[in-house]
Amino acid sequence: MKKIDELEYIHVQNSVASAKIALQGAHLFDFQVTGKKKLLFVSESSLFKEGKPIRGGIPICWPWFGAHESDSLLPNHGFARSSLWKHDSTEFLSESETKVRMILEDTPKTYALWPYEFLLTLDVYIGEQLRLVLTTKNEDTKPFDITSALHTYFEIENIYETTIDGLEGKKFYNKCNDTLNNTQKGAINFRQEVDRVYMSVQNDVVIHNRNQDIVIQTEGSGTIVVWNPGKELADKMPDLSGHENMLCVESANVMTDVKVLEPQRSFSLTVTISQN
């Protein structure tokens, strides 16, 4: 186990890739395939402090996404990203693939925020591709519902030269002007702040970065969130530096894509990411 500032993390290295996962939030904050560019963006201004989410990497938004729908005092994006997870296991599946399992279970502290018993598991597969599987199991005697996201921050060369394919023709909610039922026409580009939730997405999404494409495949998700704050908002965020080098494309279950779990039932949200 290693440490950066106040946070302990696991460092995995195999023959093709390396990764770093903080115990707080089961937060993957570094991933790189040998010979390829770093995949994940982490702000130089990000804090690595207990109880504070890391600005970058792949935060886990769970069991709700964004602000809580009925209590604004509850933590934004839920409590999973700021909770201390348990490192359950590291398996070397082959010379070129390693699996790390992280676990979060209910405690009196989580029960005070969200009154359910649960088991949350994150499996991270580190190899030529990066794959994350977030599995929720209802350990309670009553059903519960969740919204969630794997809030991935991608490292890019220049947001103003970056486009996204795969969302053409999809309906989206535009948070910037609070409008529903917009339709994406052509590729997405970034001339200003973009904060959108795309609906009914079942196909791959491709980020066209300078000299590199990033392919995102999602299972168990019907919504994709696309976000870049633009300069004006980024300048107001003390823990975000370099907005022109980041882009969030999030595999999610949000808005109407709510998942309801009966007792002892499980649900998995999976994302697989590759660089071409």
Tens of pLDDT, residue by residue over 167-180, are 999 999 999 999 99
Strands (E), 63-116: 86-94, 97-105
**Is 10 part of any domain?**
yes
pTM (predicted TM-score): 0.97
Count H helices and E strands in the chain, helices first.
Answer: 2, 23
Q: What pLDDT does residue 210 have?
A: 86
Q: Provide the β-strand partners of residue 260.
A: 145
Tens of pLDDT, residue by residue over 11-53, are 999 999 999 999 999 999 999 999 999 999 999 999 999 999 9
Q: What pLDDT does residue 173 have?
A: 98
**Is 177 part of any domain?**
no
Q: Name the DSSP letter for residue 85.
A: P
For residue 103, give the amino acid letter: I
27 is annotated as an active-site residue: no
Tens of pLDDT, residue by residue over 91-120, are 999 999 999 999 999 999 999 999 999 999
Number of structural domains the chain divides into: 1
**Is 174 part of any domain?**
no
**Is 153 part of any domain?**
yes
Domain range for 266: 2-161+200-275
**Is 47 part of any domain?**
yes
Identify the active-site residue in 77, 97, 155, 250: 250
Identify the active-site residue in 151, 161, 193, 243: 151
The CATH number of whichever domain residue 34 belongs to comes to 2.70.98.10
Q: Name the DSSP letter for residue 112.
A: H
Q: What pLDDT does residue 1 have?
A: 87
**Is 190 part of any domain?**
no
Burial of 269 (0-12, 13-18, 19+ CB in 10 A): buried
77 is annotated as an active-site residue: no
Tens of pLDDT, residue by residue over 186-244, are 999 999 999 999 999 999 999 999 889 999 999 999 999 999 999 999 999 999 998 99
Cβ neighbours of residue 11 closer than 8 Å, sequence gap 6 or more: 2, 18, 19, 20
Instruction: Look up residue 62 and give its two tokens.
Output: 């769970």
**Is 260 part of any domain?**
yes
User: Which of 96, 139, 105 shows the shortest CA–CA distance to 266?
Assistant: 139
**Is 176 part of any domain?**
no
